[in-house]
Amino acid sequence: MEWLLDPTIWVGLFTLVVLEIVLGIDNLIFIAILADKLPPAQRDRARVIGLSLALFMRLGLLMGISWLVQLKEPWLSFWGFQFSGRDLILMLGGFFLLFKGTLELHERLEGTRPELGQARTYADFWVIVTQIVVLDAVFSIDAVITAIGMVDHLPVMMAAVIIAVGVMLIASKPLTIFVNAHPTVVVLCLGFLLMIGFALVAEGFGFKVPKGYLYAAIGFSVLIELLNQLARHNGIKLEAGRPLRERTAEAVLRMLGKRLPAEAFTAAPSQPGNAGMVTFGIEERNMVSGVLTLAERSVHSVMTPRTEISWINLDDTPQDIQKQIAAVPHSFFPVCRASVDDVVGIGRAKDMIADLLTHGNIRKVNLREPIIVHDTISIIRLMDTLKRSRGQLVLVADEFGTIQGLVTPIDVFEAIAGEFPDEDEVPDIVSDGVDQWRVDGAADLHHLEQLLDTEGLVDEAQDYTTLAGYLLERFGQLPVAGDRCEFVSAHARFNFEVVQIDGRRIAQVLVKKITEAVDQTVQ
């Protein structure tokens, strides 16, 4: 036992443990690949049994060192080649690795997946364990031969094998989870299997491939795969930094088979038909974005404000009421007395005309009960209310009972698809030349963002939902005609100029996109 005090023995033990672990990693990976074919509840048991069998098999082979040494004597001559028992074992093991690796690679690349709703078919437990035993036998030969070449003492070899297999048992489950979560790693490992099998066959024919070449190739491939996984991880982090709304909208468009505007332009920027395709893509993306952001918007951003409500005053003469109903193309009107806050009911235009012609006044019996919601109601709950109203308008009031506006089903639809002006309305946003628009102060900021193809105007933390509210926040007071401010987004710059003030309201704004040439001049 004096050899236990020899420092070189301990250095050899440590080195052999490291080599045995390195030689066992490929064994462990392929055990993980095979165990994945079993039901989840049986995978851990298969890994433990497989590695335990690998331990006993390697220990048994180590104790038969003398027999392995004798296998170097030629057993068979064929076409000028002499094959020993060791050569035949290496060749059989190499052909098995080539066969198994090819089948696994074909299944990964060309194999069929179960249909949706079809139960996955798992392999039999003992069939997989048998395959693991055969793999263990092949990989154990390489490990045992390495041990024989490095160390002269059998106890040291056995200790190194036991320690290495113990480490593999501890690391088996985390490594299995990692391998199954990264399909490219599995394909890479199957490539290693084919390479090792080829090396064993070549060595059986007498063409010894230095292990250093194999490990260098494997190490280089692992390094490249590590960089690939790092790049993929950074790409996922970068993608996660983009707004969820934008990523979801683009994903939906791709599922619909539509190109994104940037992709369409990059694919063929010089083709004359691309401009229309890009415009259509932007409109689609805006509609999807409108759907996805609808639940986040406040009722103020979709309602018709109090100042623009067309309502019937019962104190007016029948002739004035009749003219008003005929002049405004609406089906329903709030019917009030003296003020829009004193709502009597909701009247249908044709019923009120019939009452005026027949009875000379509007009868309350033909008026519907008004539906009034609080201005803090969510859009989703508002849509449920609109469904129950059966096409009737819904009034919006604040905490003091003051009517703030009204909402109809078409207002919610416009929040998704853009404006649909009535006959008596002018669009809030009108093009006024290249990269220039005349915008009503009451224009919705979400719609303006979509039309300008920019982000940043909408601030969920603020109470305003219109362009006028945004400008009042920027100026800090009611501006005068000619006042200007500039908005800078990640992609463009815009100049906002107040054109018209109506009382205490910003009536019209000129929005101009600052081009690159103008930007350089300003600087």
The rounded percent of the chain whose pLDDT value lies above 70 is: 66
Q: Are residues 460 and 473 in the same domain?
A: yes
Does one domain contain both 194 and 257? Answer: no
Residue 278 domain-assigned?
yes
Q: Residue 481 falls within a domain, yes or no?
A: yes
CATH of the domain at 364: 3.10.580.10
Q: Is residue 332 part of a domain?
A: yes
Residue 336, in any domain of the structure: yes
Q: Are residues 133 and 195 in the same domain?
A: yes
Q: Are residues 307 and 281 in the same domain?
A: no
Share of the chain above pLDDT 90, in %: 12
In angstroms, the Cα distances linking 278 to 29, 245, 283 are 48, 20, 9
Q: In terms of residues, how long is the chain?
A: 523
9 — pLDDT class (breaks 50, 70, 90): low
Distance CA 442, CA 300 (A): 11
| Residue bearing the bigger pLDDT, 149 or 299 | 299
Together in a domain, 280 and 360:
no
Final residue before a domain boundary, out of 375, 406, 437: 406
Between 235 and 306, the more confident residue is 306
Q: Are residues 385 and 457 in the same domain?
A: no
Instruction: Using pLDDT thresholds of 50, 70 and 90, give the confidence band for residue 464.
Output: confident
Token pair listed for 366? 């033909």
Ramachandran sector of residue 418 (left: φ over 0; alpha: ψ -120 to 50; beta: rest): left
User: What are the φ/ψ torsions at residue 463 (nearest 5 degrees)?
Assistant: -85, -20
Residues 393 and 452 in one domain: no
Residues 349 and 485 in one domain: no
Looking at residue 261, its pLDDT comes to: 53
Strand partners, 337: 339
Task: Give the integer Cα–Cα distance in Å for 54 and 49.
Answer: 9
Are 332 and 344 part of one and the same domain?
Answer: yes
Q: Supply the pLDDT for residue 143.
A: 63
Q: Is the model more confident about 54 or about 352?
A: 352
Within this chain, do residues 263 and 364 fall inside the same structural domain, yes or no? Answer: no
Closest of 192, 141, 154 to residue 33, by C-alpha:
192
Output the six-digit token pair for 478: 């009611």
- The reply to whether 204 falls in a domain is yes
Q: Which domain holds residue 284?
A: 245-296
Within-domain flag for 221: no
**438/500 same-domain check:** yes
> Is 60 exceeded by the pLDDT of residue 119?
no
Q: Kindly report which listed range (133-147, 210-224, 248-262) carries the lowest average pLDDT score.
A: 248-262
Of the listed ranges 105-109, 314-318, 356-360, 398-402, the least confidently predicted one is: 105-109
How many domains in the chain? 4
Whether 172 and 28 have beta carbons less than 8 Å apart is answered as: yes
| Same domain as 379, residue 337 | yes
Instruction: Report whether pLDDT(151) > 60.
Output: no
Banded pLDDT at 312 (limits 50, 70, 90): very high
Q: Is 482 part of any domain? A: yes
pTM for this prediction: 0.42
Per-residue model confidence (pLDDT) at position 497? 92
Question: What is the b/e burial string over 456-481, where b = at least 16 CB atoms within 10 angstroms of the residue's CB?
Answer: ebbeeeeebbbbbbbbbeebeeebee
Tell which residue, 403, 412, 385, has the closest CA to residue 302. Answer: 412
